[in-house]
Amino acid sequence: MFNEREALRLRLEQLNDKEIIVMRELREEREGIYSKLRELDKKQSNPPQVRESSSLMDLVSAAAQELKQSKSSSPHIQTNTASQPFNKSITSIQREAALKILSMHKEGIRGASLRNEIEKETGMKVKNMTAFMSGLMKHHPEVKKPGRGHYIIKHEKSFE
């Protein structure tokens, strides 16, 4: 029974890893599509008009244009973006800070020092450093843990 339980647990971990990889690929493809759509919209002289047979992307683009125009026409409304954008989660802000710090330390950095620097830079406490770094390594495979409590970014060489 123990072996079956362990095998099932390992399979769940594999599924989680594959899910993260697939989600990353889908996100990258979606971003590519959005950038291509923006590029095509810039080539058109007039924005797409909302009509009954409009595609969903046309409607979204028109709504985004209206939102941008309404924001630019009312500058007296102040949003709460003093220290960070409102649409980013705490974890994503901390991950960005961790990646920035790791990229500055080419030889790597101890987990405790990394935690202190992340907290100093973001002003937010990292609750569980091991879980945080495990998540970071899943989302960013270039981050490695060569030894206990030691983290480093290993940039793969590209042959482009």
**Strands of 150-153's sheet in order across:** 109-110, 150-153, 143-147
Mean pLDDT of 56-83: 63
Which structure tokens are listed for 50? 């909302």
Residue 97 CB coordination number (10 Å): 20
Residue 85's pLDDT is 47
Give the pLDDT confidence of 28-48 residue by residue, as tens digits: 899 888 888 888 888 875 555
> What does the pLDDT look like over 97-133, one tens digit per residue?
999 999 998 889 999 999 999 999 888 898 898 899 9
What integer pLDDT is reported at residue 53 of this predicted model? 52
Kindly indicate the confidence band of residue 77, based on its pLDDT and cuts at 50, 70 and 90. very low
Q: Which residue has the higher pLDDT, 121 or 50?
A: 121
Instruction: Return the exposure string of 36-71: e unless at least 16 CB atoms fall within 10 Å of the residue's CB, then b.
Output: eeeeebeeeeeebeeeeeeeeebeebbeeeeeeeee
Q: With contact defined as beta carbons under 8 Å apart, do 94 and 127 qualify? A: no
